[in-house]
Amino acid sequence: MILDKYKYLLFDLDDTLLDFGKAQVLAFRKLLEDENIEYNDELFEQYETINKFLWRSFERGEISNKEVTSERFIRFFKLFDRKVDGNEVDIRYRGYLAEGNQLFDGIIEMLEKLTSTHKLYVASNGIGITQHTRLKNNNLNKYFEKIFISEEIGSKKPDKEFFDIILKEIDVENKDEVLMIGDTLTSDILGANNVGIDSCLVDIHKTSNPEIVPTYKIAKTIDLLEL
């Protein structure tokens, strides 16, 4: 079994362990309800375009994560000629995001198995309080030795520094024993490549890029057990 050669497994959170798409739509619906705007899928797509554009700028180091999270709602509500306090709306949105069970099917069973054979970690780009609340609400903390969140460690995927800090913290002697598992080529896989560890792409978005190649590719996270 390929997975046997690794000792440390680093998991991305959003769209790897947690179904971020499902959580986002629910939170977005609640936000529109607050503003008396009727939800439709097209509005969510418009929001997503703005949100993704800003997160890509963040990954390139052009803006901070705080700018992403306040600016996304200012830009979205501008479509309705509404002026909002971007921070206030974002805090409300993140409150909604953190509610409820958002796990993909089979994740708990997978972690139960892996926790007896490997050391597990979370390596996530995101806001500390949001990610901790979501981990707690989904009962995930007990499976992980340590949780690494970009906002808290002061560096982010795909930066080499983010991974250097993690490898140092968990006292890795041999980088060949570390596997990064995540759904995003431009952060999870590129980051693993930057620091020289193996990676496994959870290909739920069906993306590919000839310049960012993962070591392994699986269709969904629980397929890791078949690797």
Q: Which of 11, 15, 119, 212 binds Mg ion (CB under 5 A)?
A: 15
Q: Which of 73, 183, 214, 218 binds Mg ion (CB under 5 A)?
A: 183
Minimum Å gap between C-beta 202 and Mg ion is: 8
Which stretch, 14-22, 25-33, 52-60, 102-110, contacts Mg ion (CB under 5 A)? 14-22
* Nearest by Cα to 152 from 171, 125, 122, 179: 125
Minimum Å gap between C-beta 16 and Mg ion is: 5
Q: Which of 8, 9, 11, 12 binds Mg ion (CB under 5 A)?
A: 12
In the bound state, the residue with its beta carbon closest to Mg ion is 14
Exposure b/e, 191-206, CB count within 10 A at least 16 = b: bbbbbebbbbbbbbee
| C-alpha–C-alpha distance, residues 152 and 155, integer Å | 8
Structural tokens at position 155: 């560096």
137: Cα separation from own chain's centroid = 16
Please say which residue, 15 or 159, places its beta carbon nearer to Mg ion: 15
90 noted as active-site residue:
no
Cβ proximity of 202 and 220 under 8 Å = yes
Residue 104, H or E segment: none
Please say which residue, 150 or 184, places its beta carbon nearer to Mg ion: 184
Instruction: Say which of 12, 14, 183, 188 is annotated catalytic.
Output: 12
Q: Which of 6, 9, 10, 14 binds Mg ion (CB under 5 A)?
A: 14
- Residues with a catalytic annotation lie at 12
> Which residues bind to Mg ion, rule: CB under 5 A?
12, 14-15, 183-184
